[in-house]
């Protein structure tokens, strides 16, 4: 898609936003989400198109593009709770969370996963073990909160 | 026959067919009566990300009420874009904006295959009046309308005022208006009403003179205004007010106002979930229908009311003026005084009211048949122009500057292309005499010199630009036949060629080797050819032409008049350095889809070597050779064979063909293994094995699959993506076993000023070990260097 083509969507967003502002309302959805989504195939997600999305808009875009739905407001706020994290670490944490979620089992494939490694260079995101995740999904409600993420990582084959 | 693919996904996913689904149903039934052979209904299947085709007859049975047809109507056959016939129509009539296949991605794909695009637009309220749309609809609608404004060939609006708004939006965006048509919604729903009993409370409420509003309770419909008017005078004048419709979204306060209204069930009534008979009853007995809506796509309740002879008082907005015409009374939007004044006037003047009622009886509703007829008329405007191929071809026109090269090629043409009687050589003036003196057995040779072609215009320096420039200008020469075979001096026939290779059943056969939009070229060392392909890609994309790559390095047939038409329709094109084959064939296919029959190419030695570029199509047969001298030397594939025509040529051609066929098979075998590995990788990880270099905040990050599996000794074109702005980045791949380098690649320099042409996507050809490299585990090292910093990524490489 050319910049010219992309620009048309951007302009329509602006027109819509202006019309909405006349009514004293806000768009709720970000232009960054729109621009990161317009060139996404239905079957997979090109994560490299999200590289320029600022931290405060990243979660909305990630949810919309990966799951095809909007993040619930409370859920979104909880993701932004750790303000000491660097942008890169924040995005990595978010992506790992989404990438390894049971919701994605039925979701999209990923291409150009540019934040798929941890600081030591090892892969952060393990081989997607669909069957094991299904088992995890069935038992997760019974796992104590304190060890939940560790157990999940075991299922995913991710080293702590 | 031109097929019309109609997208109706939502129609098959909802239980009750109301709103847009009711429109789709009615239009589908009527179109079926008119053009059933052309129709193919398709639904998007989210589990396979493809469009499934429905059995047309069973789908129509389902629409007619045969519920058993539902399960059977899914044919199990899927729409493959590349197999759609150029000129076919994709017609969107569904409420598709919230669907998973975004129009911004789907429509450019369809255009690539020459498919024509039409869309029925109900309104653009999410853009013009966004406050009345849910944020999700608003967001997704931007994608939908943005795509159709850019890629649709025609738009059919349900009202002229909507079309005006669409055109206004195009003007605001600074893009050309899409050709527009208007086809009103039909409203002959007679067969579907009057069933069921009318509840007693409805009859009771209708006993007093009442104002009725029918429609979903939502802010856009302006129910608050009606309640204000009711409380501000109508109630005192003895009118009842009745709302009939379901509760919509974003109306919590209004809902409370309705529920807690002091006059509720006294003189104000709210009914939801009424059957058709009750709605019909209310329409028929109302004093008038109030339709104070703020924004509307069509305003169906107006029609439904007028059909029953009941007057309508509607807000004075363009679309309602258009739909209601002289049969309605109007009031200034949101003006209670004006609204009440009209009602007062009618209530106080019974004769005036009766006169209005009499007039309303003359109203003739638009029928679904008429709606469908107008849609079909609009779609017919997309019918391709018909044109037949000119049959008699006897001339070959060859661009050449080297007498030796063409001298060696002429004997092949004489031997294998008996229908070619004359060859016209386009050449520099200084070699014209030498060219004319080339000995021939039966073919006459003439020249068309640069001087004759250029007539004083300077010749561009760049090879690709020069060739296209000369070919375009040569079309103006009388020496060029109306229809001819265009060739280069190194394209050689290797078997007897029948004219049917070029003309088949009244169509010209055009041979493609790739797709322009997927051409990656050799990014580190881009050739003149790569540049002209990128430019041609831009040309076809900008003009919404198909995007097949026809520079198949073999002779192809050209009709002079059509080439001239392309030049005329694109002034200055001759200086833009395009691919002379792809620009022409895609242009002609866009204009006359039936005139061009596209087929995979039939030429060997294109590419000359596996490392040149990634072959997309495997030729089914080989009738031509793209002659490369280096292939006949240094142990290359044709070393030992004669480079010129001899008595042994026929036998040698058979052997050469066999060798090249095996060479190509070997490459496609490697590709097949890579595809199997990719499929398994995707299944295991829900991720596509891909390579990317991402620049972020000055750092270079490399993304690569965890493991790569390829055939030992193979050469693969690995797909890379670069996102960043650094120029002159150096990329290198190498392979090692036990820390010993096995294979190395010369670092390729990414020239971003060039890459702008290719969306930063490119292939890296890499040799996975020299001959004798054993299967086993290795490490693949990907490194990038921007002069200041270097990033490296190592992944496991399994050689099979």
- Which of B135, B169, B696 is opposite residue A51, by nearest beta carbon? B696
Contacts of B81 in chain A (CB under 8 A): none
Residues within 8 A of A (CB atoms), B 562-591 only: none
Share of chain B above pLDDT 90, in %: 68
Query: Is B689-799 a domain of CATH 2.60.40.1930?
Result: yes
Q: What is the mean pLDDT of residues B6-18?
A: 82
- Nearest residue in A to B685, CA atom: A128
* B129/A19 Cα distance (integer angstroms): 7
What are the tens digits of pLDDT across the range B217-242?
988 999 999 999 999 888 999 999 99
CATH topology identical between B191-365 and B395-656: no
What are the tens digits of pLDDT across the range B409-456?
999 999 999 999 999 999 999 999 999 999 999 999 999 999 999 988
Q: What is the mean pLDDT of chain B?
A: 91
pLDDT exceeds cutoff 80 at B559: yes
Burial class (CB in 10 A: 0-12, 13-18, 19+), B640: exposed
The predicted structure's pLDDT at residue A147: 75
Q: What is the mean pLDDT of residues B302-310?
A: 90
pLDDT exceeds cutoff 80 at A129: no
CA distance B701 to chain A (A): 7
Residues 6+ apart with CB under 8 A from B230: B211, B239, B241, B263, B268
What is the CATH class of B4-182? alpha beta
Contacts of A33 in chain B (CB under 8 A): 139
How much is the CA Rg of chain B, to the nearest whole Å?
34
The predicted structure's pLDDT at residue B453: 93
pLDDT exceeds cutoff 60 at A157: no
The predicted structure's pLDDT at residue B748: 75
Q: What is the mean pLDDT of residues B510-521?
A: 90
* B222/B312 Cα distance (integer angstroms): 15
Residues within 8 A of B (CB atoms), A 116-145 only: 116, 123, 127-128, 130
CA distance A147 to chain B (A): 24
Read off φ and ψ for residue B140, nearest 5 degrees.
Answer: -70, -30
Q: What is the mean pLDDT of residues B242-252?
A: 88
CA distance B761 to chain A (A): 12
The predicted structure's pLDDT at residue B206: 94
Q: Number of residue pairs across A and B with CB atoms under 8 Å? A: 133
What are the tens digits of pLDDT across the range B93-139?
988 888 888 999 999 999 988 899 999 999 999 999 999 999 999 99
CA distance B792 to chain A (A): 10
Give bridge partners of residue B625 from the DSSP assignment. Answer: B492, B604
| Contact between residue B89 and residue B382 where contact means Cβ atoms under 8 Å apart | yes
What are the tens digits of pLDDT across the range A40-84?
888 888 877 887 899 889 999 989 988 888 988 777 777 877 777
Beta strand B268-271 with B240-244: parallel, antiparallel or unpaired?
Answer: parallel
- Residue A123's pLDDT band (boundaries 50, 70, 90)? very low
Q: What is the mean pLDDT of residues B341-365?
A: 92
- Nearest residue in B to A15, CA atom: B127
**B176 interfacial to chain A (CB closer than 8 Å):** no
Contacts of B696 in chain A (CB under 8 A): 51, 88, 114
Q: What is the mean pLDDT of residues B189-201?
A: 70
Q: In CATH, what number does B395-656 get?
A: 3.90.550
pLDDT exceeds cutoff 80 at B546: yes
The vertex-B573 CA angle with B569 and B577, nearest 5°, equals 150
- Nearest residue in A to B125, CA atom: A16
The predicted structure's pLDDT at residue A155: 63
| Pick among B97, B111, B142 to test the A interface (most A CBs inside 10 A) | B142
Contacts of A9 in chain B (CB under 8 A): 104, 142-143, 146
pLDDT exceeds cutoff 90 at B531: no
Q: Where are the beta strands (DSSP E) in B325-394?
A: 329-331
Share of chain B above pLDDT 70, in %: 97
The predicted structure's pLDDT at residue A132: 60
Q: In CATH, what number does B191-365 get?
A: 3.40.50.2000
Residues 6+ apart with CB under 8 A from B322: B159, B160, B161
- The domain segmentation of chain A, as residue ranges, is 3-115, 122-160
Q: What is the mean pLDDT of residues A130-146?
A: 68
In this prediction, the answer to ipTM > 0.90 reads no
Share of chain A above pLDDT 70, in %: 69
- The domain segmentation of chain B, as residue ranges, is 4-182, 191-365, 395-656, 689-799
């Amino acid at each position: 898609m050319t910049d010219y083509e992309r620009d048309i969507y951007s302009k329509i967003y602006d027109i819509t936003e202006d019309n909405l502002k006349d009514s004293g309302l806000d768009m709720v959805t970000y232009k960054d989400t729109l621009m990161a989504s317009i060139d996404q195939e239905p079957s997979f997600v090109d994560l490299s198109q999200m590289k320029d999305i600022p931290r405060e808009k990243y979660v909305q875009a990630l949810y919309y593009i990966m799951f095809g739905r909007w993040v619930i407001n409370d859920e979104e706020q909880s993701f932004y709770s750790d303000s000491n994290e660097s942008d890169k670490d924040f995005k990595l944490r978010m992506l790992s969370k989404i990438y390894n979620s049971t919701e994605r089992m039925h979701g999209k494939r990923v291409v150009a996963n540019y934040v798929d490694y941890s600081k030591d260079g090892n892969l952060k995101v393990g081989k997607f073990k669909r069957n094991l995740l299904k088992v995890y999904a069935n038992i997760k409600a019974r796992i104590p909160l304190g060890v939940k993420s560790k157990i999940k990582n075991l299922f995913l084959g991710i080293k702590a | 026959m031109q097929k019309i693919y109609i997208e109706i996904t939502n129609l098959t996913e909802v239980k009750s067919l109301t709103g847009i689904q009711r429109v789709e149903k009615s239009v589908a039934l009527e179109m079926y009566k008119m053009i059933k052979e052309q129709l193919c209904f398709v639904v998007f299947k989210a589990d396979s990300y493809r469009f499934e085709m429905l059995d047309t007859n069973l789908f129509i049975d389902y629409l007619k009420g045969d519920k058993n047809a539902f399960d059977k109507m899914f044919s199990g056959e899927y729409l493959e874009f590349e197999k759609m016939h150029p000129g076919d129509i994709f017609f969107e009539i569904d409420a598709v904006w919230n669907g998973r296949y975004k129009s911004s991605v789907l429509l450019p794909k369809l255009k690539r295959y020459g498919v024509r695009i039409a869309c029925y637009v109900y309104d653009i309220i999410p853009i013009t009046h966004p406050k009345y749309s849910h944020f999700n609809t608003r967001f997704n609608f931007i994608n939908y309308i943005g795509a159709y404004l850019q890629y649709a060939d025609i738009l059919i609006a349900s009202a002229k005022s909507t079309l005006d708004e669409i055109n206004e939006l195009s003007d605001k965006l600074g893009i050309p208006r899409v050709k527009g048509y208007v086809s009103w919604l039909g409203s002959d729903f007679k067969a579907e009403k009057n069933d069921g009993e009318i509840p007693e409370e409805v009859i009771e409420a209708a006993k007093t003179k009442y104002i009725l509003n029918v429609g979903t309770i939502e802010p856009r419909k302006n129910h608050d205004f009606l309640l204000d008017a009711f409380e501000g005078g109508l109630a005192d004048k003895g009118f009842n007010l009745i709302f009939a419709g379901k509760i919509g979204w974003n109306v919590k306060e209004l809902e409370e106002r309705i529920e807690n209204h002091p006059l509720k069930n006294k003189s104000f009534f709210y009914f939801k979930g009424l059957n058709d008979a009750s709605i019909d009853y209310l329409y028929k007995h109302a004093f008038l229908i109030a339709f104070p809506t703020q924004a509307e796509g069509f305003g169906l309740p107006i029609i439904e009311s007028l059909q029953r002879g009941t007057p309508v008082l509607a807000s004075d907005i363009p679309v309602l003026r258009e739909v209601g015409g002289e049969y309605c009374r109007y009031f200034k939007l949101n003006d209670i005084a004006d609204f009440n004044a009209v009602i007062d006037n009618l209530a106080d003047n019974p004769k005036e009211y009766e006169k209005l009622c009499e007039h309303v009886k003359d109203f003739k509703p638009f029928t679904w048949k008429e709606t469908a007829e107008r849609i079909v008329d609009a779609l017919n405007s997309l019918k391709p122009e018909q044109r037949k191929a000119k049959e008699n071809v006897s001339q070959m026109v060859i661009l050449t500057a080297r007498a030796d090269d063409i001298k060696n090629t002429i004997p092949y043409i004489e031997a294998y292309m008996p229908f070619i009687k004359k060859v016209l050589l386009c050449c520099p003036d200084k070699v014209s005499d030498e060219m004319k003196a080339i000995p021939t057995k039966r073919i006459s040779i003439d020249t068309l010199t640069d001087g004759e072609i250029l007539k004083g215009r300077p010749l561009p320096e760049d090879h690709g630009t020069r060739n296209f420039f000369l070919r375009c200008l040569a079309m103006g020469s009388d020496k060029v036949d109306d229809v001819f075979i265009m060739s280069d001096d190194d394209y050689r026939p290797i078997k007897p060629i029948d004219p049917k290779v070029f003309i088949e059943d009244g169509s010209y056969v055009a041979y493609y080797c790739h797709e322009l939009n997927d051409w990656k070229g050799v990014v580190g060392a881009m050739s003149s050819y790569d540049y002209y392909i990128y430019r041609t890609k831009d040309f076809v994309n900008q003009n919404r032409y198909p995007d097949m790559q026809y520079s198949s390095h073999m002779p192809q047939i050209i009709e002079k008049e059509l080439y001239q038409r392309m030049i005329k329709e694109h002034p200055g094109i001759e200086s833009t350095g395009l691919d002379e084959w792809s620009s022409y064939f895609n242009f002609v296919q866009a204009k006359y889809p039936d005139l061009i029959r596209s087929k995979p190419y039939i030429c060997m030695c294109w590419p000359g070597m596996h490392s040149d570029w990634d072959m997309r199509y495997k030729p089914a047969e080989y009738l031509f050779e793209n002659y490369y001298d280096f292939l006949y030397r240094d142990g290359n594939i044709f070393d030992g064979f004669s480079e010129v025509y001899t008595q042994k040529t026929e036998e040698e051609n058979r052997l050469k063909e066999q060798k090249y066929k095996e060479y190509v098979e070997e490459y496609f075998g490697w590709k097949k293994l890579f595809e199997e590995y990719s499929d398994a990788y995707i299944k295991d990880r829900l991720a596509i094995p891909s390579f990317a270099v991402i620049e972020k905040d000055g750092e270079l990050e490399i993304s690569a699959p965890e493991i790569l599996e390829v055939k030992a000794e193979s050469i693969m074109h690995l797909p890379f993506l670069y996102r960043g702005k650094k120029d002159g980045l150096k990329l290198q791949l190498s392979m090692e076993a036990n820390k010993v380098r096995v294979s190395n690649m010369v670092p390729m320099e990414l020239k971003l000023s060039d890459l702008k042409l290719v969306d930063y996507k490119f292939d890296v050809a890499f040799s996975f070990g020299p001959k004798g490299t054993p299967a086993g585990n290795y490490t693949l090292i990907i490194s990038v260097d921007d002069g200041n910093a270097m990033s490296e990524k190592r992944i496991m490489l399994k050689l099979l």
